Every structure is written in C-alpha cells, then in structure tokens.
Structure 1
C-alpha cells in the first residue's frame, strides 16, 4: 500500500487523512508544525522565501523520513510565487536524495484537462474508479465543512467562557470525535455531539466582546502555529474573531468558482487589479468587515509576501476612509509569541477605548439641548 502525505494546514489534516485512507492509500499524517519543523525548512529553503514555503518544506522532510512515497499538494496561479512552490519543493527534496512522487494540483478552472490527467494518475495508483472517488470526496468534504463550522463556533463562544481555556479543551476533544467519524451518518452524529459539547460550556452572556476580522495570506491564517494561536489569544482577551478564509469557503468561492470576484470588486477603489495571492482579497474583506460593524481588523502577512505587502501599503488609507483600526502583523521565523501578544493587548486596549469614546459621544447626543 503506497504511503501518501500532504501539507499540514490547521485542522484540515483530519479531512485529508480520511480522503487519502478512503482512496486506499496509507496516510502519513504530518505532525503539527513545531519550531523543529520550521528549522528544517529554513535550513534548505532559499533565504528570502516566505515562511509558508519554509514550514511546508520542513513538513515534507518530516513525512518523507517517516516513509511517505507520494505527496499531494496544491499549486497556484498569478503573480504570487506560491504557484511555483510545489516545483521548488520537489527540486529541493530530490537534490537531498529523496525519491518521491509529487502531484501538484492547480485550480481546475485554470486548466480542466491537466487537472483531470493528474487526478486520473492518482486514481490509477489507488485502483479507484471515478464513481467511487466521488463518494470518497463527499465524505471528506463533509468532514472538512464540519471542522470549519466547529472552529467558527468555538471562536464565537471563547470570549464568553467562565473558565479560561475550557473552549479550547472542548474543541480538542471534538477533534478526536471527528477523527473517529468515517461515514456520512457518523459525521452527522459527530456534528451534533460536538455542537452540544461546545454550547454546554458555561458562559457569561452579559459580556460585550469586541469583534475583530482577520485577513491575510491563507497559510498563516489557517495554521495556528504560524499565527501563534492568534484566535485563541484574542478570544481569551474577550474578542470574537472572524477569519476572512476558511478552507471549505475558500475552495468553493476561489478555487472551484469565481465568487471571490465580489470581494475583489469591493477593493477596486483602492486596488483595481489582481496582485496574486490574497492581496486584493485582504483589502476587500477589510472593507466588508468595516461595513458589517467590526471594531477592528488584523492583517497577517508572511515576511516577503508581495501580495500582502501591496495590501499593507493600502490598508492605512482604508482605515482612514472607513474609520476602522487595522493592525498589520508580519510573520517570519524570528517572530516571537511575547512580542505578538504585547501588540495584540495594545490593539485590544485601543479598540475598547475607542468603543467607550464612541458610546460616550452617542449618549451625549441624546441629552436635551445637546
């Protein structure tokens, strides 16, 4: 049985694990990224490659040393360098002496025929029919959607929890339950059980948490190690967060359709052309968060990421025009948790003071003779 692996990106590994196993392969599930994983990637990556490139390279080194024979990954299009990363990873790994198969799937709408040719080769290696593959994908997709749903539910509950860390512990228990669910029926049952567990967490409904949107590059948004668990940290500071990217939503709107054009259209007054990656989306999503009454926005950008550098240069103008505070955080291998937490605390304090001032002015306006 061929051993197959993939990149680790947030909690999606549970869905990809099921996909690989249901196809008939042995899944070599990548471990959660660690400082050692990053160090491995930094050692062999080009110096000015972004941190997602380095972390994914480190992950591939780890799974290959555990016996992985095939890696399945995504490609990309446009000015962003991510479209070349799969080929660069393959070349580096082969130069290091690893004998592997790597399948790089670009978005199907950029070329349906090449996409299906590669997919046919993978299915042939698995000995799987097209019809059986459709059923396999449905189950994996259901699990991925559930993971996104529960992650959003957890972020909405965490700021209200009475016992610090209870939401995070419950969510981790839910990951184990979801991992055991294999059929559509079992996944549906896991959904009900996990939603109930999260909703039963004791909460203080009287709190008034801030609302902060998070925009930026997909890998640092989805992988908690990369963003230093920013959503958990903010939640425990009393902030409800919402990411601009969840994997199933991104796949449906950006990869399999053109739904992201609506968000990019919003960005046109500030950035009227596609700059690759999620740069234009970061501007458009920030405008959307401002219109929806969020208290602030945080941009997460890998160091040297050109699309996010472009967005970062434009976001101060968006902030001034729409009156929404924006904090940009640049992430690389030197970024430390303590420094990020200090900046987050200062940003949250600023947002609270701003809310109090706005409420004071609003109340004053209601006084007679004002």
Structure 2
C-alpha cells in the first residue's frame, strides 16, 4: 500500500511522520504549483471551489508517482467539503486511475465509520504503535505552528524582513527531517534562536492585522498568495485565527474528551450578527473578527474560496461588523483566476488605509 493525501499548508510534515511511523509507504504530493492547479481546473467541475481543484491536482501528481491509496477527510453540515471525497473519487475513476480512497469522517457521531476506515488503513496494529506515531507527529505539528507564529510576530520588526521567511523555510525543512521528538525540539529551538537573533528596527510599532476565513485558504500559502509573508514585509504584524493544531484539537481531542470553550466563546461573539451554524468556518469568521476588534487590532483580512457558501454569508455580514466596531475589514475571494498584481495592490491599499487611520487616532489622543 502506497498512501498519499492532499496538501494544506504545513500539514504534510506531521502527516508524513504519522503515516511513516505507522509502517506505511508514504508518497507526499509534490509542492503545489501552477501545474497542480492546472490539472485540478482541467478535470474538476467549473464551479467547484479552489480547494477541491487543488486536491485533484495533488492526487493526480501522487498517483502518477505510484500512489495506490488516497487518505481524505470527511465533513458534516452545509459546507461542500463533506462531498469532496466522493466527488474526487468519481473524477479520478473517470480518468482511469486505479486506487483506493479511505475517507475519515468526523468522529462526532461517526465512531463506526471512523473505526472502519482506520482498520482498512492499518489492519491489526497495536495501540502502543499508534500512540507512539501520534506523539511524534503531534510534536511536529506543534513545532511548525510555533515557528509560523514566531515568524509572523517578528517579521515586521526586522531590518531585513525577507530573512525571517528564509529562516522559517529552513526551520520547516529541519523539522521535517527530524527523526524523533528530541530532534524535532532541538530543531525548533535552533530556528527560534536564529529568528530572535535577527537585527530589529528600534522603536518601531507595527500595524496589527488578523486573518479570518476558510481554513484551507488560511493555511495554504499557494491559495492565499503568501499573504502572511506579503503583509509582514509591508511592516504588518499578522495573526491567524486558525492553525493546524487548533483544527486538530477541535475535531479530535475536544470532540472526544471535552467541549471546546474557545469555539463556544467565538460563537457567542458572532451571535449578534450570525446566530446559527452555516457550515465551514462561517460563524468563526464573524466571531473572530469581533474578537480582533476587542484585542485592538488595526484591521482584519477575510479570506475564502470563490463560491464558498459559508464565507459568502460571512462576507455579507462583515461590513456591519466593521461599521459597528470601527475596524476595517478587507474580504478577498480566491480562485484559479486570481491575479497576484491586483491582489497585492488591494493589500497595499488596505495597509495604507490602516496607517492613515492610525495616524488620525494618534492625533486625537
């Protein structure tokens, strides 16, 4: 069995470790490029959202490298993500590929289906081996999120902001290559030390911008055109509302062991504007925007795939949030036609708007 999976940001690093430690032969899809996108666009329905198209591109590239088993997550609710696995399976079958697709449905209410998928993937394997593999993968997931946060916090203060991105990418490689938990932690500490040693501009106070929206677009740099890096190099401190480990904790740990207090808090913040579940991260996009206002952030950028229903609902509500709470919000929808030049121009204009607003606030104070 040669297994593969779709990319989503840095997810491939812990997932590869998990599957390898479980004794599986893993084929990681090539990094997402225009070729990946072109393949997905060519063979996917025209009005399917961008993540589905990129998944198809990932799968085709992996199947061409010899993969015979695809691992895919499932979903519930109005978001079309719950249909991805079946739709993608039909597309690839029509193209003549021979493979197995194992879909892991959310554990909430789907224990039997989850166990059946796990059994299909792993067969008879000891609980201890699963525990050891999970621990190594989890430490890597925490490590990549940690250096991502640190890079976003430090980049606007640096004399050479591009140096932070260079070190961040080096850190991802070091963590990916680590063979055990101890090596992972040493690699994380080494990159953290190097990042903290970079020369900083004295007395600089950056603008602060929060990123909200659909998780795939938030986490996958190819789809959001490296927005964290671009804003950071414009001198902006960037904070994401969702990280990979947050999503794992929410859908695995919390669903099994405890209720998600943070998610309930976000839902409460969103309630004056959106008081029912609309699928995906629609409610979270609204609630997190309110939270960023409470944290005195200068602005919010809302990201989502074109045609994404939950984010379209959030996008229609966010102007009211912006007006009520006096926080500028920029909504950006992305698909295969999104041009980088226009995208950057909108980001630069938004940052200029925040800077002018900040200067006016200083004069009032």
TM-score class normalised by the smaller sequence: over 0.9
Distance 2:206 2:8 in 1: 28
The number of residue pairs the alignment matches comes to 359
Q: In structure 1, what is the equivalent of residue 82 of structure 2? A: 83
Distance 1:182 1:56 in 2: 28
Contact 1:108 1:256 in 2 (8 A): no
1:278-315 deviation line (CA, Å, top 9, x unaligned): 10110000000000010000000110000000000000
Superposition RMSD in Å? 1.1
Contact 2:161 2:232 in 1 (8 A): no
Distance 1:114 1:261 in 2: 27
Instruction: Check if 1:218 corresponds to 2:221.
Output: no
Measure how far apart 1:164 and its partner are.
Answer: 3.5
Measure how far apart 1:128 and its partner are.
Answer: 2.8
1:293 to 255, 276, 296: 296
Secondary structure of the structure 1 residue equivalent to 2:108: helix
Secondary structure of the structure 2 residue equivalent to 1:350: helix
2:358 to 339, 355, 360: 355
Instruction: Check if 1:283 corresponds to 2:286.
Output: yes
Q: In structure 1, what is the equivalent of residue 108 of structure 2? A: 109
Instruction: Check if 1:339 corresponds to 2:336.
Output: no
Secondary structure of the structure 1 residue equivalent to 2:87: helix
TM norm structure 2: 0.96
1:152-163 matches, within 5 Å, as: 152-163=149-160
Contact 2:75 2:106 in 1 (8 A): yes
Distance 2:65 2:251 in 1: 33
Measure how far apart 1:254 and its partner are.
Answer: 4.2
Distance 2:84 2:116 in 1: 20
Distance 2:268 2:30 in 1: 38
Instruction: Check if 1:16 corresponds to 2:19.
Output: no
Secondary structure of the structure 2 residue equivalent to 1:299: strand
Distance 2:231 2:281 in 1: 23
Measure how far apart 1:154 and its partner are.
Answer: 0.5
Structure 2 unmatched runs, 5+: none
Instruction: Check if 1:230 corresponds to 2:230.
Output: no
1:193-232 deviation line (CA, Å, top 9, x unaligned): 1211211111114211100000011111100010000000
Distance 1:359 1:63 in 2: 54
Q: In structure 2, what is the equivalent of residue 262 of structure 1? A: 265
Contact 1:45 1:54 in 2 (8 A): yes
Distance 1:17 1:255 in 2: 18
Secondary structure of the structure 1 residue equivalent to 2:56: helix
1:1-370 matches, within 5 Å, as: 2-124=1-123, 128-257=125-254, 258-259=259-260, 260-362=263-365
Contact 1:224 1:230 in 2 (8 A): yes
Structure 1 unmatched runs, 5+: 363-370
Contact 1:37 1:62 in 2 (8 A): yes
1:224-260 deviation line (CA, Å, top 9, x unaligned): 0100000000000000111111010122124542422
Distance 1:341 1:226 in 2: 14
Contact 1:286 1:297 in 2 (8 A): yes
Distance 2:316 2:332 in 1: 13
Contact 1:107 1:256 in 2 (8 A): no
Distance 1:194 1:116 in 2: 38
Distance 2:31 2:293 in 1: 34
Contact 1:109 1:256 in 2 (8 A): no
TM norm structure 1: 0.95
Measure how far apart 1:111 and its partner are.
Answer: 1.4
Distance 1:120 1:42 in 2: 33
Contact 1:3 1:67 in 2 (8 A): yes
Secondary structure of the structure 2 residue equivalent to 1:266: helix
